[in-house]
Amino acid sequence: MNRTSERSTRPSSGGKPPARGMLAPSFTLLRVRGIRIGAHWSWLVVFSLISMSLARDVFPFTYPGLSGRTYLVMAVISCLAFFVCILLHELGHAFQALKEGMKISDITLWLFGGVARFEGRFPSAGAEFRIAAAGPLVSVILAGLLALSTWGGARAGLPLQVGGVLDYLARINIAVVIFNLIPALPLDGGRILRSFLWNRRKDFTAATISAARIARMFAILLMLVGVFWIAVDSAVTGIWSIVMGWFLLQAAQAEKSNALVRRTFENLTVRHLMTRDLVMFRSDTTVEEMLNLVQARPHSVYPVVDDGSLKGMVSLRVASAVAADRRAHTRVLDIMSEPLVVDGSSSVEDVIELIQVSPGRAAVLEDGRVAGILSISDVVRTLESRQGLQGVTRKRKGPGWRLVLGGLALLLPVVATLYKPPVAIISPAPAVDVTGDVEIDGVPLTELNGRYLLVAVHISRPNALRAAASYFNDEVSMVPLTQVLPPGISQDEYLLGQRRVFEESQKAAAAAAAQAAGLDVTISGTGAEVVDVVQDSPSDGQMRVGDVVVAVDGTPINLVSDLVGFTTVRPAGTTFEMTVQRGDRTLTVPLTSARLEGFNPTSTGVGIITTTRNLDVSLPFEVTFTDRNIGGPSAGLIYALMIADLLDAEDVAQNRRIAASGTIQLDGMVGAVGGLKEKRLAAGEAGVDVFLVPESELEDVNLADGESDVPTIGVDDLEDALGALNGRA
């Protein structure tokens, strides 16, 4: 039996309005103006999933360079604050409902956000509109305040971690508003639509049927999008979309059923449905006497009445369960239960939910005496007979093509929001001050008289809507996904490989700086170990992760730089004889190089990502780097400059804020990195005095941002970079 509108349940972010008791809070958090605030067990699952996603993916990609513990703290705080925002959204509904004269049962946080349960029907179409609009209005205000705090905090110098949390909360509140305003019952947008139709047609049931029809259409489209998503990209996202669609479908049907029940029982009182002509027993009647008397007129329960006063209800099932040898000595008083009592003049709508739960029936009193019993079977029988006779007439207000157009209008934003095309957005990331990241022992050092800033980019995979908007944003670049994530390599594999490359670039920076200072450095390795093989590249199917290239065309390969020197400087189409150690075997693998469009920057190669096996950089000092959650080789140049400044007797920084981006080889050569347009913008935001980039990319960055006021210098190697900073260029 569906619930009636006597208790309306309004999920904030989708889902079937749960039957009474299904969302009873597993634990109570607090009470606000007498409203119990609780959390369902599923809320803990969502809390954990969101926290994990923020700590592992969102924040590390958006704000690189922070520690894992910092990301975890940011994630937990963000998740807690997000649910506080959901709670405030629900309180917006609840407080407005109180103003409209309705009663609030409780607010529960659960799998799909929050549920505010209010008792009684909506007083009017206007009241439903105001109650439905109150929640999104609260979320809009929160989003505005958080966005303003993010903007002001950035200019006031608030820590990056605080700004990141505020920015996330502003964006997630906007998402809550957008989703909840979708015109699908029981979402806020669906209730707003129903209030409009209700006011226009003056018929609540007809308005509900129309709004539920649109909600069902949206739910089906959402599930179809989920199937599409599973087929083309992410099973997890697709399954979530299907589950959301299914819940919305069930919720829309529940809203429609409740409205039909309301129409069916309109103007009917309990006395119209109750069972009369009852068999009643005194409390001192024995069970044996009772069972003998009811054989001809068996019912499930019987009233227990003494001197015209109702004392309780006795169940035939309970009475029959009494042992035969005890029935003569057991009284009805001993086995009767507390009665559920309703008045005969009460509206059927107002009592249906009361008898939906155990015991499933109520004693009906008129003038203080038992007049009958109302049971679920009475309600169902009446419902079926009246709806069978009356039917439900649905008047079409327009041709079916309007529904088709409406479906397409709903499908377009859903697809644009959920579908992620195979592109990546490269945007400026906040500059990271790495001046104190290095500790050196064993040689004399000079004090740094300036700041060294690492500039990086934030790489994200947008949905179609954001990708379209980014097309018109000059501060970001949109590139094929394969340019930042080579085909056939998972995100986790890519990040792990980039992390290893970053750590190797730190060693190379220390070695290059030491050699620039005239110190003896010994560098050795035992080959180039394969950490990833690019799909559809010359190495795909030929090389494996764990292979070690120890020679090319008979020339020994000790370091990655040795391999790069062979494969990247010769034209595409060159065939190399690779001597490869694979486990206990040594084999020869012929590979023909090709243009690797999936790499940034585009280069010639054979399609393997390698690191030096057993890399040993013997320095005349001990060096320790602060742990940074950063990947890739582009920080090599800035670290090399900073270490060289520490080792150099001259003042290299000269009280300047210096930014740089470029790879560094063990011999001090500087290589291209890409993303310099966005990095230059980040350098400008950080107020740097000079920005050093690879000479090979200087023309590109000037063409991309010729009006920038950040002095940008191209360098070929570390010696050039130091000369430029010391005025020798």
DSSP H stretches of helix in 391-423:
400-418
For the residues of 430-484, what is the DSSP string, one character each?
A: --EE-TT-EEEESS------SEEEE--EEEE---HHHHHHHTT-TTSEEEEGGGT
Which contiguous run of DSSP H or E holds residue 702? Answer: helix 695-704
Judged on CB neighbours under 10 Å (0-12, 13-18, 19+), 214 is: buried
* Sign of the torsion angle spanned by Cα atoms 497, 501, 503, 504: positive
Answer yes or no: are the C-beta atoms of 395 and 197 closer than 8 Å. Answer: no
Q: How far is CA 691 from CA 241, 658, 661, in A?
A: 45, 6, 8
* Spatial distance between the Cα atoms of 114 and 47, rounded to a whole number of angstroms: 13
Bond preceding residue 399 cis, omega within 30 of 0: no
* Spatial distance between the Cα atoms of 631 and 58, rounded to a whole number of angstroms: 15
Bond preceding residue 359 cis, omega within 30 of 0: yes
Answer yes or no: are the C-beta atoms of 97 and 104 closer than 8 Å. Answer: yes
319-337 burial, b for 16+ CB within 10 Å, e for fewer?
beebeeeebeebbbbebbe
Answer yes or no: are the C-beta atoms of 180 and 110 closer than 8 Å. Answer: no
Contacts of 592 (CB under 8 A, 6+ apart): 538, 573, 574, 575, 576, 606
3-class DSSP state for residue 101? coil
Answer yes or no: are the C-beta atoms of 78 and 641 closer than 8 Å. Answer: no
Answer yes or no: are the C-beta atoms of 426 and 675 closer than 8 Å. Answer: yes
Q: Hey, what are 307's tokens?
A: 């001197």
End-to-end CA distance of the chain: 84
Catalytic residue, candidates 90, 255, 349, 678: 90
Q: Hey, what are 173's tokens?
A: 């509140």
90 given a catalytic annotation: yes
Q: Beta strands 603-605 and 594-596: pairing type?
A: antiparallel
Active site residues: 90
